[in-house]
Structure 1
Amino acid sequence: MKPGWLRKSLGHGAIGGYTPWRRLLANGFAPVQGRLQGEEAAAQSLRWYSPDLVPGILQTRDYATAVLRTCIEFLDGPTDLVAAVDARMRRRTVLLDEGHRFHFLVGEQALYRTLGDDRIMLQQLEYLFETLHAPRTTVGIIPLTAEFCCPATGFVLRDRTIAEIETVSAALSVTDAQEVALYERAFDLLAARAVSGDGARALIEQAQQAR
């Protein structure tokens, strides 16, 4: 049974989809990664806010393996780890498509959140560092000391039509225009507090030195 506020929201069209992980992952993690690849390829613009982890399509193979292994263990889901990681790596090909624009906002804490070991983290930080120079891509790091601006968890905006949010128990797709506009506002506020270019490089280098 969904909570009352969620049933009410669904009735008014604010949330286009509410799918518990147990249903979404019934056939494994790899098919979900494949679906995401198709959705990302169909979008011209991706805006991604990730406060605690490096965004999925910016992850190295070893980092992604650590992330997905942890998720599989937590959700007690199908153990298709290798296939899921392979599928997540294929999602990175969208970064090469000239018809796409990307804007990533990453919380500084994600640079220190340990996945695997120091080797994996240093490899991931180096890859993120290289991404700062990628064409059609903006990467902003939100410093730990940045002023609080909105009650936002991680989310992804595809074009200006849908916001995707992952909760502990389910995946949400928000499609109502007014609701999506709130996520756009949150993203703009967060982006205003992020540093890019030399500022982002400095924060990544500090995280590397901490290893």
Structure 2
Amino acid sequence: MPNGNQRHIRPSPAPIDKVSERIRNRENQRRLRERRREYTQDLEERLQQFEKKGIEATILVQRAARTVARENRLLRELLHSKGISEAEINQHVNYMIRPAAMKEEHVSTLCLASLEHIKVDAQDQSYYPSRNTSPIASPFPTSGRSNNDEMDCEEAARVITSLRGKVDPEALWPQLGCSTARRTRVKNSVLMTLAL
């Protein structure tokens, strides 16, 4: 018979708690691995999408570059057929892509050169200024002095029409400084500026 003063000893619940804790840990680890796997899979799918979009963008850029190169080649061939040299084309392109400060300096240089040219012509008494001058057209008549960097108004209008598309050549004459009463010649550099 047990002693009345002796307390009843209950079994310790520690082993059961440890088993439950191990089960919870395994479940948490399983969920963590599952989330990590899903996260990794999502990153891989997104990476594949970015790579696919990058390849598509590269293809589009390459196609656009080939199209631009072909158009530039055709435009150069057209300008060559109209008597515009490769050097003039390159000079105009280089000028158009220059920074604004360099363009202003280039314009100042051209103005000084034009003044010197007028001075020499006036001394030679072979330059007769016109009252209806134009900043675009050359003041020299067609039958007078001309050079390879100039073109007749009609021919220049046809060149611009072929580049722009549906444009009436005669509608371009005022821009070129031409009229039926005043036939002038247009510099090729001005022609390329109007054609673009």
TM class by smaller structure:
under 0.3
User: What is the TM-score when the length of structure 1 is the normalising length?
Assistant: 0.22
Larger-Rg structure: 2
Structure with more strand by fraction: 1
More relative contact order in 1 or in 2 (CA 8 Å, sep 6+)? 1
User: What is the TM-score when the length of structure 2 is the normalising length?
Assistant: 0.23
Structure with more helix by fraction: 2
